[in-house]
């Protein structure tokens, strides 16, 4: 079974607008971490934001915020005030319990239009 599901293959957003990228996850562990990474066309994975399963507050990092809904097993990324440089592939990932690996979703391509 897929551990991370990203249902939006591609999205277009107007510059300066906000965009929400969906991510749902599946785990039976009580302790886990959720990550979002950005991958530009150059290929490097850039860490954006992290949310621990026990964190009560939603994580925020600059223009990035994570809308964490534990009961729904949802960890959506919100990018505010989109910029042209935000055009990239975005991946949601999870690390479960004492596991060392990250499990990634299929990704969402975001294209920011001027």
Partner 1 sequence: DAGVTQSPTHLIKTRGQQVTLRCSPKSGHDTVSWYQQALGQGPQFIFQYYEEEERQRGNFPDRFSGHQFPNYSSELNVNALLLGDSALYLCASSSSGGSSYEQYFGPGTRLTVT
User: What CA–CA distance (Å, rounded) separates 89 from 2?
Assistant: 19
Which of 37/112 has CB closer to partner 1?
A: 37
Which of 13/106 has CB closer to partner 1?
A: 106
Among residue numbers 48 through 107, which ones bind partner 1 (CB under 8 A)?
50, 52, 91, 93, 95, 99-107
Among residue numbers 28 through 47, which ones bind partner 1 (CB under 8 A)?
33, 35, 37, 42-47
CB of 102 to partner 1, least distance (A): 7
CB of 74 to partner 1, least distance (A): 18
Distances (CA, A) of 15 to 49, 90, 105, 114: 21, 17, 25, 5
Q: In b/e form, how buried is each residue of 13-30, taking b as 16+ CB within 10 angstroms?
A: beeeeebebbbbbebeee
User: What CA–CA distance (Å, rounded) separates 71 from 66?
Assistant: 15
DSSP string, 19-30: EEE--EE----S
Is residue 11 part of the contact set for partner 1 (CB under 8 A)?
Answer: no
Residues that bind partner 1 (CB under 8 A): 4, 33, 35, 37, 42-47, 50, 52, 91, 93, 95, 99-107
């Amino acid at each position: 079974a897929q551990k991370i599901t990203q249902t939006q293959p591609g999205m277009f957003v107007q510059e300066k607008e906000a965009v929400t990228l969906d991510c749902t996850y599946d785990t039976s562990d009580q302790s886990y971490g959720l990550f979002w990474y950005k991958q530009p066309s150059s290929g490097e994975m850039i860490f954006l934001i992290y949310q621990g399963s026990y964190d009560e507050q939603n994580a925020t990092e600059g223009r990035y915020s994570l809308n964490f809904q534990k009961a729904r097993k949802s960890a959506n990324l919100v990018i505010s005030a989109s910029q042209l440089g935000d055009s990239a592939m975005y991946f949601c990932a999870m690390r479960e319990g004492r596991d060392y690996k990250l499990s990634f979703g299929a990704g969402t391509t975001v294209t920011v239009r001027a």
